[in-house]
Amino acid sequence: MKQVLLAGGCGFIGSHLADRLCRRQDITRLVIVDNLWTGRLENLAAISDPRVEFVQSDVETFASDTKFDEIYHLASPASLPQYMTQPLRTISANVVSALNLLTLLKPGGVIGYTSTSEVYGDPVITPQPETYRGSVDCTGPRSSYDESKRCVEAMLFEAHRVHGTRVKVARLFNVYGPRTRPDDGRAVSNFVTRALQGKPITVYGDGSQTRSWGHIDDIVEALERYFWSEGTDYLARSILAMIMKFRCLKWLSSSRAIFPNPRSYSCRP
Ligand SMILES: NC(=O)c1ccc[n+]([C@@H]2O[C@H](COP(=O)([O-])OP(=O)(O)OC[C@H]3O[C@@H](n4cnc5c(N)ncnc54)[C@H](O)[C@@H]3O)[C@@H](O)[C@H]2O)c1
């Protein structure tokens, strides 16, 4: 029987992963650590499982006598307005948290991490094959997120290489669905929020940019199969989130307003 730690479990994706973890019968204790920076306790409202403990804490300073069999690190904002306004906090949430979580992992345990398509930066190849190493600006306005994700990937893969730690890294693209924050700031939540308000939909630039979107149900299904399956360690899987790809302009056939493309919202897959 296993003890599991979920960091960032009150967030959009983390709370869905918590739902999935509660379905497992081989877990005796699930500890969810979250400081409620971008997450909400309401996201866990559907869970009434005596095995689940919620600890409101920064992951960086979370301490426990327990060593965990499985640790999932989702403690980072994914929303651009959130991480751009608090870049140092974002770096700490990813990097310092990962360092702490590695100390809480039982020997032979597995640590899963949700990385991002942002590790490719402003890519010159689209769609990106696994072999593509990216085009990242380490001094750019998105670097706190991009580079901290890259640093944690490096940290985990080196832990695997040097210490044999079991690591699972999933590079998610744009995820949407229930529990997305209305102020997330990315395309789907912007479109839905504006539409619900009866306002014209905002399009940055000329709308020809592309995105890869994955519905949360598909993403947590993929994460479950990957994180909890055997024999697929040491893989970064960008394909997980390649559910749909289409051009914004084709989708938005009517009711749109065109806005300049600010640098911070530059075209990303
Ligand atoms: N949503 C996406 O489209 C997307 C895309 C790529 C990668 N990801 C990654 O998936 C993970 C989850 O994303 P999300 O969309 O659920 O984001 P989210 O902001 O909804 O969830 C993050 C959670 O982590 C918590 N948190 C942040 N820093 C913390 C800290 N230092 N200590 C404790 N708790 C902390 C927040 O309060 C929140 O509950 C993140 O690592 C993100 O980078 C998400």
Write out the DSSP string of 55-72.
Answer: EES-GGG---SPPEEEEE
Q: Tell me the C-alpha distance between 240 and 173, whole Å.
A: 9
Which of 62, 74, 117, 218 most suits a substitution to test ligand 1, by most atoms within 8 Å of the C-beta?
A: 74
Q: Can you give the pLDDT at residue 139?
A: 95
226 is catalytic: no
Q: Do 55 and 15 sit in the same domain of this protein?
A: yes
Residue 24 lies in a domain: yes
Q: Do 164 and 45 sit in the same domain of this protein?
A: yes
pLDDT band at 230; cut points 50, 70, 90: low
Q: Do 123 and 60 sit in the same domain of this protein?
A: yes
pLDDT band at 247; cut points 50, 70, 90: very low
Q: Do 147 and 82 sit in the same domain of this protein?
A: yes
Residues 98-137 have pLDDT tens digits of: 999 999 999 999 999 999 999 999 999 888 888 899 999 9
Q: Tell me the C-alpha distance between 52 and 32, whole Å.
A: 7
The dihedral sign for the CA sequence 229, 236, 101, 11: negative
Main-chain dihedrals φ then ψ at residue 246, nearest 5 degrees: -155, 165
Q: Which of 145, 176, 234, 265 is an active site residue? A: 145
Query: Which atom of ligand 1 sits closest to the CA of residue 93?
Result: 31
CATH at 122: 3.40.50.720
Do the Cβ atoms of 7 and 39 come closer than 8 Å?
no
Q: Residue 79 above 50 pLDDT?
A: yes
Residue 182 lies in a domain: no
Show the domain range for 79: 2-176+212-243
Residue 181 lies in a domain: no
7 Cα–ligand 1 center, Å: 9
Q: Do 119 and 206 sit in the same domain of this protein?
A: no
* Pocket of ligand 1 contains residue 193 by CB under 6 Å: no
Q: Do 103 and 230 sit in the same domain of this protein?
A: yes
181 Cα–ligand 1 center, Å: 11
Q: Do 238 and 252 sit in the same domain of this protein?
A: no
Q: Can you give the pLDDT at residue 208?
A: 83
75 Cα–ligand 1 center, Å: 5
Count how many Cα atoms sit within 13 Å of the Cα of residue 257 in the half-sphere of its side chain.
Answer: 10
Do the Cβ atoms of 140 and 83 come closer than 8 Å?
no
Q: Tell me the C-alpha distance between 98 and 92, whole Å.
A: 9
Residue 233 lies in a domain: yes
